[in-house]
Chain A
């Protein structure tokens, strides 16, 4: 039997197992077992334990629980309460005024929280009532919230990026660096859309009610926001400067956020315990999917499916743009059924050999895939951010989906821009590699 037929059988089997509701990690491992037991001569049981052990006992993976924990601690501080009062005074002059709070709060909070749904809820809890009270249109406040809730996974440090880096075996640092400019680009696109919309509908934006504040007053209003931003910059900074590895920097981040919580008087034993347990559970969930996928990957390696697919793609000889277009469609479809982590882990081993055949940089591809995960989160029927906003605002899912449509389009524009100008993504990591090579340590 040819590898492509075996691949089809496994795909059907995986779909069946996942559809009845098997947990993703287990479902992937079962598919791997089927492949191993029926289409190879090696022992499925022995390989299962080896694949699990080798994938979870990983030094690089240790960064994951720490980054998650850092987010969980900051998540429980007063930071979220400061989001509105801290950001609003800076943004009253821009057309669209306080709607931009959503974008910036999503960017800042998302970079520490790893979870888009939690970001949307935390930011929304503060901004939605405030914006409504001031008379901002509902569809703009919910739409911008949906869009910027997803920003967190694009702005480093990002948990999804760590997952991709481990799955695709590329450097965490390079992926983090690659995310910076696209993250700013998406924020600019979101804010840009709000500005254009506000200029076209000036009567729908309420007047500035913050009054004049001096620069010093503004600084005082955002006094708890600034240390948090400094902490994030420091965490990225130590990695880039080469003082510490990604895992060590994550540990710095944890200690730094505990200090911030302590200074802000929100460090209680309960917060500490809940953040630690919450982070442990969340990262265990992610690593379990990685372990299941590692076994499936091993099984597929034995059956030769990824190589056959890559050769098939090479034989079709598509241009980069054609392949990117096909993959975009594939991921948008997958994203309607799967969450971001599963989607990345599941596809990386199959897709990576293909994209390398046509000469696409795996670091660029990482950012591309993260953008697609963002899109998936605001696409019905299972966009989680949509679901969260729906229950928060009391509006039906169509209203929320419709409200987030313009921001969905902005994400598509971002994909088009990074495809047309891949340097936006690759320039920072390339400069970093050049800098580290020119001065060997």
Chain B
């Protein structure tokens, strides 16, 4: 179970990374073709859609690694035992909201699908296709939050806290803006 979930988060992160790679490729192609005098039809739309996928798919992995920022000014002051109660509240509230968010994003995809909505730009493809990764990313994030809630409830130190400690101990601060 642990392994399956962790590979789910990693797979989603890779899907997001592929979106970034594709954005880069399309932008290079567009700039190259412009020199040639040709236009890449609909490239801007595709880029925007890829950007949406790149933003939401990696969220679960980002959260697990402790790279999703939060206001640590209070919660970091406590020792692990006291912090646990705050973590449970934070995870409970955030988890509930993310389930709600995933539900409504799923609803948006469903509506776009049954009403057969098309993209408004130069590429009239069904809009549910680029919307789907956003829903998927939110869903995986919701799963990760519930997963983490159960872990903390069973008495473990949150993964996102442990991972940051390990990285800082190794002198790696690349996750911080």
Binding site for B on A (CB under 8 A): 17-27, 29-30, 33, 45-46, 48-50, 52-53, 56-59, 61-62, 65-66, 69, 72, 75, 114-118, 121, 125, 159-160, 243-244, 247-248, 250-252, 254-255, 276-289, 291, 336-342, 381-382, 384, 388, 391-392
Contacts and interface: CB of A to CB of B under 8 A. Distances in A.
Interface residues of B, number: 65
A114 B177 contact: yes
B20 A384 contact: no
A21 B55 contact: no
A382 to B, nearest CB: 6
B122 interface: no
Given A18-B70, A66-B23, A277-B13, A29 B175 contact: no
Given A50-B108, A61-B51, A388 B93 contact: no
Interface in B15-69: 16-17, 19-21, 23-24, 27-28, 30-31, 44-45, 47-52, 54-59, 61-63, 65, 67-69
B90 A56 contact: no
A258 B27 CA distance: 16
Contact of A252 (B28, B45, B73, B87): B28
Contacts of B54: 62, 65, 280, 283-284, 287
Contacts of A19: 71, 74
B31 A49 contact: no
Given A49-B105, A115-B176, A279 B20 contact: yes
Contacts, number: 223
B13 A57 contact: no
B27 A66 contact: yes
A26 B62 CA distance: 14
Contact of A250 (B17, B27, B101, B103): B27
B126 interface: no
B97 A30 contact: yes
B123 interface: no
A79 B65 CA distance: 27
Contact of B93 (A20, A62, A255, A381): A20
A29 B89 contact: no
A200 B101 CA distance: 60
Contacts of B19: 280
B25 to A, nearest CB: 8
A21 B105 CA distance: 24
Contact of B94 (A22, A50, A56): A22
30 contacts: A20-B75, A21-B71, A21-B75, A21-B89, A23-B69, A23-B90, A29-B101, A45-B100, A57-B134, A58-B51, A62-B27, A66-B24, A115-B173, A117-B177, A118-B176, A121-B173, A160-B177, A248-B31, A251-B28, A276-B21, A282-B175, A283-B54, A284-B16, A285-B62, A285-B67, A285-B68, A287-B55, A342-B71, A382-B72, A392-B171
